[in-house]
Structure 1
Amino acid sequence: MRPMARWAMTGGLLTAALAAPLSTPAHSAPATLYAPSALVLTTGHGEFAATTAPERAVTLNCAYTTSGTHPDPRRGCADLDRVNGDLDRLAVLRGNEAERPCTKEYRPVVVTIQGVWRGTRVNYEHTFANSCLKETQGASVFSF
């Protein structure tokens, strides 16, 4: 190989080696400016999540746009926004209780929520006396 061709090839490889790291960012920028809010909700018949097999699971994403497998993700995210993510306060939002009276039967239903809400880790478990109370006291978040 001629010396001039060798110098050109070496120069080209050196330029590519030095310029490649400069052309890619050190870290990728976040997709949105909103804190992540992605939750997995499960329900099952029993008193404790540790001893109860989940019968149903849905996802609820409440970042910039609402999505997920929850039957009504927009309303579920709106209810969570109204209580500022405090899941114990969802019973305050009950509006269906007057319209839908519940029986006093005891057939416990446990609900779990795990994931991230507005950038904060969530690990929640609550047992309702029956399915009717779960749907009325849990607002639309637990209606699945």
Structure 2
Amino acid sequence: MQPMTRWAMTGALLTTAVAGPLSTPAHSAPASLYAPSALVLTTGHGENAAAAAPERAVTVNCAYATSGTHPDPRQACADLDRVNGDLDRLATLRANDTGRFCTKEYRPIVVTVQGVWRGTRVNYEHTFANSCIKETQAASVFAF
């Protein structure tokens, strides 16, 4: 997939994630009290995001109320809160508590995260050796 196509898809998903909660009824909590926290997460097989076409994309919104297309947005937001949005620290949440062992098979899978976390722009990319390692090291955030 061409980089422009990737950016267009990410932009469309991010717009949906950020603008979706803005269409709530007037009696909901004011958006100004909460810093925006809306992320678009993608996965694809390859060494890096430029070489890997996105195979799956989900959104997670952690501002006032958790929402999104992520399978478990509440747990993903809770994990992000525990590491204060530092995606590199997600592996510390699952260290030695999964009881799951992964093979040394090398089939790289790249994960990207783009959006806003508590008002700060996020542009993150990480390559895992295989899907098993992604699931055991990245808490629930990358479990989609």
- TM-score w.r.t. length of structure 2: 0.77
Contact 1:96/1:136 (CA < 8 Å) preserved in 2? Answer: no
CA distance in 1, matches of 2:121, 2:98: 34
What residue number does 2:54 align with? 54
Contact 1:37/1:61 (CA < 8 Å) preserved in 2? Answer: yes
What residue number does 1:69 align with? 69
CA distance in 1, matches of 2:137, 2:57: 19
1:95 Cα deviation after fit: 5.2
Identity across matched positions, percent: 83
Contact 1:97/1:136 (CA < 8 Å) preserved in 2? Answer: no
CA distance in 1, matches of 2:51, 2:100: 30
What residue number does 2:43 align with? 43
Please say if 1:125 is aligned against 2:125.
yes
- TM-score w.r.t. length of structure 1: 0.77
Give the secondary-structure state (helix, strand or coil) at the position aligned to 2:112.
strand
CA distance in 1, matches of 2:43, 2:97: 20
What residue number does 1:141 align with? 141
1:65 Cα deviation after fit: 0.6
Please say if 1:94 is aligned against 2:133.
no
Contact 2:98/2:136 (CA < 8 Å) preserved in 1? Answer: no
Tell me: CA distance 1:97–1:103, structure 2 relative to 1, closer, same or farther (3 Å): farther
CA distance in 2, matches of 1:87, 1:72: 17
Contact 1:36/1:63 (CA < 8 Å) preserved in 2? Answer: yes
Q: Which has the larger radius of gyration?
A: 1
What residue number does 2:112 align with? 112
Contact 1:32/1:64 (CA < 8 Å) preserved in 2? Answer: no
Tell me: CA distance 1:96–1:143, structure 2 relative to 1, closer, same or farther (3 Å): farther
Tell me: CA distance 1:77–1:96, structure 2 relative to 1, closer, same or farther (3 Å): farther
CA distance in 2, matches of 1:97, 1:72: 19
Contact 2:102/2:133 (CA < 8 Å) preserved in 1? Answer: yes
Unaligned runs of 5+ in 1: 1-29
Per mean C-alpha deviation after superposition, the further-off stretch among 58-67 and 91-100 is 91-100
